[in-house]
A and B are shown apart, each in its own frame.
Chain A
Amino acid sequence: MTLVDHKKYLLEICEKVDQDLASPTCKKLREHLEKCPDCAAYYDSLKKTIVLYRNYDVEMKGSRVTQILARLDLDEPLQITLPPKGPGQDRNKKHPH
């Protein structure tokens, strides 16, 4: 079989790669894959490409719920009134040692 013969299967292989080849619409392709090791290898490599990306996942380091809710709170009009600051309550003052 020449490369041209395989090439007409290329698009179909690509299209059907995530489908169940046992279905009747895939009959021709399935038969070709059975007798053509080159196309079968191609099919296999496409399938593996997808699986590799499926397996590549990342974990979050920690929940972001608090940050997200805090950002949403900023959307709301401010309703908190600050308590009046009494004299001598300035905690930022450094204590002399």
Chain B
Amino acid sequence: MEEDTKLIEAAKSGDKIAFGKLVKQYEQLVYSFSFKICRDKEKADEVMQETFINAYRGLKSFSGNSKFSTWLYRIVTNNCLMMHRKKSHEPVVSLEDSDLFKGTNELQVAHWGETPHDAVLNKELKEVLDAAIEKLPLDYRIVFMMRDVEGLSTEEVGKSLKLSVPAVKSRLHRARLFLRNELNPYFAK
């Protein structure tokens, strides 16, 4: 962490070698997070590279109040949202009463069998997970990935998306219930 601070300071004054070291240290993390949002390896690569370009240019605005990774996540999020707006006409923010979430408030009781415990998920299961998350509007997807998968705080997620804490919580609930209900037919015994 202290090492990071030194590298960031050096990179701020234009030291590209220092910045290269930072890229090396964080590129897998940024790539992985980008994939979690855009669900496409090629796009994730594009977003990751763009994120570091933006990071270098905007490094002076990094105050050190948040973790460097959190700051990078915020850039990824912006890039994904921008790319999404450019390439599709679908609104990023869905209406609260959208059809998508109908039924998620009903308790469909089901006992799930064992899910794979380790990180080895088979291809079929990955497709099921992709299909479910791709149905989720981008801002819900980002909230779920930042909060539940990456473990950022509700406040940090709110700051990244310019959303209030209650708005983050409401999106998180909907995203969790939606994904759980989408996966339910696959796992219910």
Q: Which residues of A contact B (CB under 8 A)?
A: 3, 6-7, 10-11, 14-15, 17-18, 38-39, 41-42, 44-46, 48-60, 63-65, 67-69, 71-73, 75
Which positions 145-189 of chain B face chain A at CB distance < 8 Å? 145, 148-149, 169, 173, 176-177, 179-180, 183-184, 187
**Is there contact, CB below 8 Å, between A7 and B107?**
yes
CA distance A72 to B145 in the complex (A): 29
Q: How many residues of B are in contact with the other chain, CB < 8 A?
A: 49
Complex: A63 Cα to B173 Cα, angstroms: 36
Question: Is there an interface contact between B148 and A18, defined as CB atoms closer than 8 Å?
Answer: yes
Closest residue of chain A to B133, judged by CB? Answer: A53
Asked if B35 CB lies within 8 Å of chain A CBs, one says: yes
With A17-B176, A41-B109, A49-B183 as known contacts, state yes or no: A56 contacts B126, CB within 8 Å: yes
B171 smallest CB distance to A (angstroms): 12
72-107 of chain B: CB within 8 A of chain A: 105-107
A70–B28 alpha-carbon span in the complex (Å): 19
Q: In the complex the two chains form, what is the Cα distance from A55 to B41 in whole Å?
A: 17
What's the Cα separation between A53 and B148 when bound, in Å?
9
B23 close to A68 (CB less than 8 A): yes
Rounded to whole angstroms, the CA-CA distance of A61 and B167 in the bound complex is 37
Contacts of A18 in B (CB 8 A): 148
Residue in B52, B57, B169 whose Cβ sees the most chain A Cβ within 10 Å? B52
Distance in angstroms from B155 CB to nearest chain A CB is 15
- Smallest CB gap from B177: residue in A: A14
CB pair A71–B49 under 8 Å, yes or no, is: yes
Measured CB to CB, the nearest residue on chain A to B126 is A56
- Which residue of the partner chain B has the closest CB to A9? B107
Q: What are 28 A-to-B residue pairs whose CB atoms are below 8 Å? A: A7-B106, A10-B107, A14-B176, A17-B176, A38-B107, A41-B109, A45-B111, A45-B112, A45-B183, A45-B184, A48-B187, A49-B180, A49-B183, A52-B115, A52-B125, A53-B179, A55-B121, A56-B126, A58-B31, A58-B35, A60-B48, A63-B27, A64-B49, A65-B27, A67-B49, A69-B23, A72-B19, A73-B16
| Nearest-Cβ distance from residue B9 to partner chain A, whole angstroms | 18
Contacts of A46 in B (CB 8 A): 176-177, 180
Instruction: Return chain B residues, CB-CB under 8 Å to A64.
Output: 23, 27, 45, 48-49, 52
